[in-house]
Chains A and B, each alone.
Chain A
């Protein structure tokens, strides 16, 4: 079974600074997808970024980028120029390619952006 570990229960950052959230996962699969979801206080789950394991290039979405290290099974999220609206829970998630169509989530990291 796959597991996802987020080792930082809480983090804080000053507005406009950069912060990196850590995620590691355990799998014997070679083909899979990785995701970062954001959950603000409104409770709505919002997809931040997605990475296909077969792609060597790290995914980027505006101020959000990932550092995907397949051999190390590491998938960290970097938020640049942090904004107050980035305050939220962030969940790392894994999906095996083919068959399961299921997301396995980490326990989350609570990020607070301070003014």
Chain B
């Protein structure tokens, strides 16, 4: 039981490049979330999903897209990376909206 895993762990991009972050969970959770963590800012919600095939915007969705084609996977895409997207990205999942959210180990992304 791996819990929540994220791929990759580190990535460096140039401005304008695109990439996809993959989140996978093996707990059969319905809900999945993407957060970003910036110094002194805490975690902020980017997008979330309440079930396979659904997505919704969080607090800071601009510049990101997501997809939930399979229940166990939640993808976060950056179409044209900007330096302002340099951050640590966390994925989380939960059985329902009221249950504990389990977090992945994070992805450190640097955009030059």
- On A, residues with C-beta under 8 Å from B are 4, 9, 33, 42-47, 50, 91, 95, 97-98, 100-108
Q: Is the CB of A50 within 8 A of B100?
A: yes
Over the window 87-99 of chain B, the binary record of Cβ atoms lying under 8 Å from chain A Cβ atoms (1 yes, 0 no) is 0101010101110
Residues of chain A lying within 8 A (CB to CB) of residue B98: 33, 95, 97, 101
Query: Bound complex: CA of A44 vs CA of B50, how far in Å?
Result: 23
Q: How far is the CB of B79 from chain A (nearest CB, A)?
A: 24
Which of A97, A102, A105, A107 makes the CB contact (< 8 A) with B40?
A: A107
Query: Bound complex: CA of A101 vs CA of B103, how far in Å?
Result: 15
- On B, residues with C-beta under 8 Å from A are 31, 33, 40-45, 48, 50, 58-59, 88, 90, 92, 94, 96-98, 100-101, 103, 105-106
Q: How far is the CB of A40 from chain B (nearest CB, A)?
A: 12
